[in-house]
Structure 1
Amino acid sequence: MSLLSLPWPGLRPVATSPWLLLLLVVGSWLLAHVLAWTYAFYNNCRRLQCFPQPPKRHWFWGHLGLMTPTEEGLKNSTQMVATYSQGFTIWLGPIIPFIVLCHPDTIRSITNASAAIAPKDDLSIRFLKPWLGEGVLLSGGDKWSRHRRMLTPAFHFNILKPYITIFNKSANIMLDKWQHLASEGSSRLDMFEHISLMTLDSLQKCIFSFDSHCQERPSEYIATILELSALVEKRSQHILQHMDFLYYLTHDGRRFHRACRMVHDFTDAVIRERRRTLPTHGIDDFLKDKAKSKTLDFIDVLLLSKDDLAQLPFLTMCVKESLRLHPPAPFISRRCTQDIVLPDGRVIPKGIICVITIIGVHHNPTVWPDPEVYDPFRFDPENSKQRSPLAFIPFSAGPRNCIGQAFAMAEMKVVLALMLLHFRFLPDHTEPRRKPELIMRAEGGLWLRVEPLNVGLQ
């Protein structure tokens, strides 16, 4: 290869090659980027000093391990919220800061921001994409806006009204199973298992018009969903496994790949079956058949008027207080694509990930007096008048709130009313331990003892 002679002032000509020139260019480019990143990092560190910070667990690992997905991690989080009631900074390792917000006044600037200014951060959703794809839950930008506009009309309350009958039928299948188990002496039941199956049954019937009979036989699908949830949460706690090429070489990575394939095959089979039957059984015929088979029991009588679910005010208060204590999604995160100014004048720098701790807002003693006490009357209309709308956000808030919250609230009220109509529920001797994964769960299940009410009347 020919050599180039480069004259340098005061030095003899130096012979070099094109490869050395390329190396110098690449090295200069890398050095410039490292210097730019270093400047931005230290500038952000300086700007983050206005946010308090709990003591670090380790000089290098920072606060890693402080807010683990365990009962102890939730208790640590609650203690930090009580100490830093507006919000605080935590560090995952030496270079990744998070701002944790836990008060309605501080989360307002994030929840009210557009989806372009405060999108979901890639760090939290990247692990979910092989499983859930890029639908309305995980997508961003124009794709998310388009999907959201398409789906919003499908979740209008008037559209949901015909689904009440489906909720009713799915709940009755579950209650019949409980009646059978109680008659055989099995009165101790895992509520999480049974409610999950009933919910899956309702969703498949409402969304796909598909009856999988998942409540009558073991569901591999539910077991796989729980496995995926646990694997995603476990991966988030191990920094080295954040790299895809390393993760998929591990045993957990191979399990995750197999589980994704299983749930995708299940969903594809449901869609194929619905596409096969749709041309011969149109949507109108489906809804007419459902209306004909409606059973006139306690709930159906209540649900005949337009404002049907409003006739269950105390049950609604109980549901909301339960969601306050144990929100389905304990945390959500957003990445700031520009500086965001909080009401008190502090600034969240561009590029920082904000964690809105929903469970922290709901347990913040400056927002909710005696936050650990179960008191449904907190949600009495008179008591709610002066409260910030952002004090209670079990389904998130702002433009990326949960699109299915009306669906979920309607199903919860219908199913709970039927459960309380037929059974008495007693606490089990096992103390439940919370386990926040993708959703809030109970470690080892949520066990209650059930007694059919007709037994007590005899």
Structure 2
Amino acid sequence: MFGIIVCGVTVSLISWIYLHWRNVREYWAKRGVPHSPPHPLMGSLTFLQQRNPALWMIDTYQQFKKPYVGIWLFWRPALIINSPEIARNILIKDFDNFRNRFLKPGSFDPLKNSLFTANDPMWSAMRRGLTSVFTSSKLKAMQSLFDLKANDLVKRIKNTKDTSKLDVRSLFTDYTTDVISTAAFGVETTATLTGEDPIRTVTKTLMTFDWYKGLCWSTIFFFPKLADWLRFPIFPESSTQFFKKVFETVSKQRRDNGIDDVKDVLDAILKLKDDGMGNKQGYTDNDIWAQAVTFLFAGFETSSSVLSFMLYELSFRPDLQEKMYEELIEAKKIHGSLDLSIQADLKYLNSVFKETLRMYPPLGWLDRQTLNDYKVDEKLTIPAGTPIYVNAIGMQYDGDIYPDPKTFNPERFLPENEKELKPFTFMPFGDGPRSCIAKRFGQISVRNAMSYLVLNFKFKPLPGAPKPSEVKYENKHLFLVPGESLHIEFEPRN
């Protein structure tokens, strides 16, 4: 009798699983949405830890060339947006229905309420509190910081006997760690000049991806409920505790000296906590210092990756180097200096920067989640809770928008050409209210470093080095970053 019951339960369970799987498998077909058949377990995510997601996004865009494509996050239906018009609606026009990201750290994670991952209303309150740090005037006040670290970068290269031994990505990560650590934590660091610093030691561990960290991140990005259940962290506990101690120490010193004006991210975070206590927002200590940690992580690796790809592309393009050099010399002659506002107006410097971001955006998609049922177009309405992925990198590799998209061609972004580009087809910093809050900071840190380097060196590829199109990407990382060391020759200019 017991055996019959067990058999009956087993058959019922198998039948339920099969029927549920059939409903999952037919979900997008019933709605007339283009898609590839899902894997019985992984759904559309069979590429994870085998291929960088950005490359998969490009392939998906080019395979279908439709306004949207249905996918599955394991068994959960989600939608990739390939249309700039629909992207505009999601990111701006109908933003109130897409205020939250789909990715989410676990409830145990001290970074669960960072600006990058927090949901409304906490996200909007924190965004308002931190926006003041990234105004043009506040960033201009950091000119000395950017110049100091750019000078250190030049000194480091000049002091290196054999510059071909320098790992470009590691070199730039030293620089971005220094710049952002000072802005985020108010801590003076020495990684740019020496390659060593306690904070840099920790960021080295954060940028190293193995199968376990890849699993943690993939789950947080694509199956956040499971990440919470399995207690998968964004960062190792030792790293977060290190930054927490740094924040507590420095913030105490800052408070003891008094905060008269918000000068940097640390001031803004401390003020955010004070204001939160006053308006009963209910920020925890973790909510507050998590903002500094997230600012550091979101900036140090993304900016260093962009600088690495930019420099590597330039090493194969001496013509572009000379145009940038002549532009910088001319601007310096006219203005007497090359401050941050002058750099922002240099057409060749900025066109090279933008073309790098087009080809190598650190995060190639923008994830959102519908709060309510949403009418995508006349043919499709999706239910509340559906994950959405705006395929930014797919559009940036569309040959109809960017002819010969695999060729590095900064001419696309010269002022006379850029005005012809279709809106919402270039979104390396996102767009709309939830775009990158530190966009200007990132732009300045890249432009200033590259200006100093172009003025001081010529960049040359090493014999036998892979061409830019042959460079490997990190497959276990969700960001588009180099998967191998990049080396070039730095030749001092006379």
TM-score under structure 1 normalisation? Answer: 0.75
Structure 1 window deviating more from structure 2 (325-334 vs 339-348): it is 339-348
Deviation larger for 185-194 or 142-151 = 185-194
How many pairs are equivalent? Answer: 397
Unpaired segments of 5 or more residues in structure 1? 1-33, 287-296
The CA distance in 2 between the partners of 1:334 and 1:254, in whole Å, is 19
Distance 1:128 1:447 in 2: 41
Paired position in structure 2 for 1:51: 33
Residue type of the alignment partner of 1:203: I
Counterpart code for 2:147? N
State which drifts further: 221-230 or 326-335.
221-230
1:180 paired with 2:159, answer: yes
- Residue identity opposite 1:260 in structure 2: T
Counterpart for residue 98 of structure 1: 78
Q: Tell me the CA shift for residue 46 of structure 1.
A: 6.0
Matched, 1:212 2:189: yes
Query: Aligned pair 1:421/2:455, yes or no?
Result: yes
Q: Which residue does 1:445 correspond to in 2?
A: 485
Q: 3-state DSSP class of the match of 1:100?
A: strand
C-alpha separation in 2, matches of 1:200 and 1:159: 20
Distance 1:407 1:241, change over 3 A: closer
Q: What whole-Å deviation, never above 9, does each CA across 1:282-325 have from its counterpart, x for those lacking one?
A: 76999xxxxxxxxxx959834469x5234411110110000000
The change in CA–CA distance for 1:342 and 1:242 in structure 2 (over 3 A counts) is closer
Aligned to 1:327: 361
Deviation at 1:351, TM superposition (A): 1.7
Q: Decide whether the 8 Å contact of 1:104 with 1:391 is kept in 2.
A: yes
Bigger mean CA offset, 232-241 vs 145-154 = 232-241
Write out per-residue CA displacement over residues 71-94 of structure 1, whole angstroms, 9 at most, x where no aligned residue.
5x544432221122222111233x
SS in 1 for 2:416: helix
Larger Rg, first or second structure (1 or 2): 1
Alpha-carbon spacing, 1:401–1:232, altered in 2? closer, same or farther (3 Å): farther
1:227–1:259 Cα contact (<8 Å) kept:
no
8 Å Cα contact 1:328-1:394 kept in structure 2: yes
Equivalent-residue separation in structure 1 for 2:175 and 2:409 (angstroms):
27
Segment of structure 1 superposing worse, 164-173 or 103-112: 103-112
Identity fraction in percent: 21
Question: Aligned to 2:238, what secondary structure does the other structure show?
Answer: helix
Secondary structure of the residue aligned to 1:391 is: coil
What is the rounded CA distance, in whole Å, between the counterparts of 2:104 and 2:263 in structure 1? 39
In structure 2, the residue matched to 1:139 is 118
Measure how far apart 1:53 and its partner are: 0.4
Amino acid of the residue matched to residue 196 of structure 1? T
Cα contact 1:434–1:443 (8 A) shared by 2: yes
- Which of 314, 330, 336 is the equivalent residue of 2:348? 314
CA distance change for structure 1 residues 142 and 408 in 2, over 3 Å: closer, same or farther? same
| Counterpart-to-counterpart distance in 2, 1:441 and 1:262 | 25
Which residues of 2 match residues 33-432 of structure 1 at below 5 A?
45=27, 49-56=31-38, 58-66=39-47, 68=49, 70-71=51-52, 74-85=54-65, 86-93=67-74, 95-113=75-93, 116-122=96-102, 124-126=103-105, 130=109, 132-181=111-160, 184-215=161-192, 216=194, 217-218=196-197, 219-227=200-208, 232-237=213-218, 243=226, 247-248=230-231, 256-276=236-256, 278-279=257-258, 301-303=336-338, 307-343=341-377, 345-428=379-462, 429-430=465-466, 431-432=470-471
C-alpha spacing 1:188/1:450, structure 2 compared with 1 (3 Å): farther
* C-alpha distance after superposition, 1:126-159 (max 9, x if no partner): 2597253413222221221111112222211122
In structure 1, the residue matched to 2:316 is none
Q: Distance in 1 between matches of 2:223 and 2:98?
A: 27
- Compared with structure 1, are the counterparts of its residues 298 and 178 closer, same or farther at alpha carbon in structure 2 (3 Å cutoff)? farther
> Which amino acid in the other structure matches residue 425 of structure 2?
A
C-alpha contact 2:25 2:37 (8 A) present in aligned 1: no
Matches for 1:20-39 after TM superposition, within 5 Å:
none
The structure-2 alpha-carbon separation of the partners of 1:175 and 1:272, relative to structure 1 and needing over 3 Å to count, comes to farther
Letter in 1 for 2:408: Y
Of Structure 1 and Structure 2, which has the larger fraction of its residues in strand? 1
Kept in 2, the 8 Å contact 1:112–1:398? The answer is yes
Instruction: Calculate the TM-score normalised by the size of structure 2.
Output: 0.70
Q: Which residue of 2 aligns with 1:28?
A: none
